[in-house]
Amino acid sequence: MNYEILKMDVAEAVAVVTISRPQAMNALNTRFFQEMDSLVAEIAGRDDIKVVIITGDGKAFVAGADIAEMVGKTRDDARAFSKVGQRTFRSLELLEKPVIAAVNGFALGGGCELALACDIRIASAKAKFGQPEVNLGLIPGYAATQRLPRLIGLGNALFLLLSGEMVGAEDAHRMGLVQKVVEPEALLPTAVELAKTIAAKGPGAVRLAKRVVREGILKDFESGCALESAEFGSLFENEGAEGMKAFLEKRKPQWNA
């Protein structure tokens, strides 16, 4: 695909994906979802990429869905538009490779939902988060009603969803929405440093840790534990054996790609 909105740079096993539609505050439209679907599929098939960072160009991470495209849609049109975004963000969430959101500015509506679909969120001190859909007489359409309470708890989720208020990076951090807050100039270097740290770990262990957590959170506790035990055991016959042997021999492990 010829990418118009998304830009990707790959170095040292880390892919930095930049959403570049600054004239519209990186608002999400149909073209964005088409490009993200294509890019996720490409990243999934590339062995040279181990970790992904998503960030925004300009003042916004993503300021929301494109209202100009949404206005005038019928009930069925709107339902279909919601499902498109849900499918795209779910594919990002299910990507075996870890995804870090480097939130540089406004992450509102669909932008906050995009950040929620990532595995880890690092925010600039200037970042703002919110689900302002109620201000338009709407509710979120890209699964914020499902991901937010799972991530930050019922009370915090309902506060954001019902008030439509924006919160700053520090408040988002206190809620558990964000894992780390840094100064704007340190945002991308911090995200890249974390990505490289993750990329240096056992690739199978990283992949399975993400999968077991993502699947387990949707299961009952005992089923989640059973899944963990199964995958814990699976690593002993390959990557885990090398990791433990390297530890005992006081050397760096030689991971398979």
Residues assigned a catalytic role: 113, 133
Strands 167-168 and 128-130: antiparallel
The whole-angstrom separation of Cα 211 and Cα 236 is: 17
**DSSP H/E element including 33:** helix 30-44
Instruction: Specify whether the CB–CB gap between 100 and 194 falls below 8 A.
Output: yes
For residue 155, give the DSSP letter.
Answer: H
CA distance to 68, 114, 138, 203, 249, per residue, from 35 (Å): 19, 14, 26, 26, 46
Q: DSSP assignment, residue 2?
A: -
Tokens encoding 252: 């760096």
Q: How many whole angstroms separate alpha carbon 51 and alpha carbon 201?
A: 11
Cα 239 from Cα 246, distance rounded (Å) = 11
Which of these, 41, 202, 23, 52, lies nearest to 114 by C-alpha position?
Answer: 52
Query: DSSP per residue over 218-257, as a string?
Result: TS-HHHHHHHHHHHHHHGGGTHHHHHHHHHHTTS------
Residue 221 CA to residue 229 CA, distance in Å, equals: 12
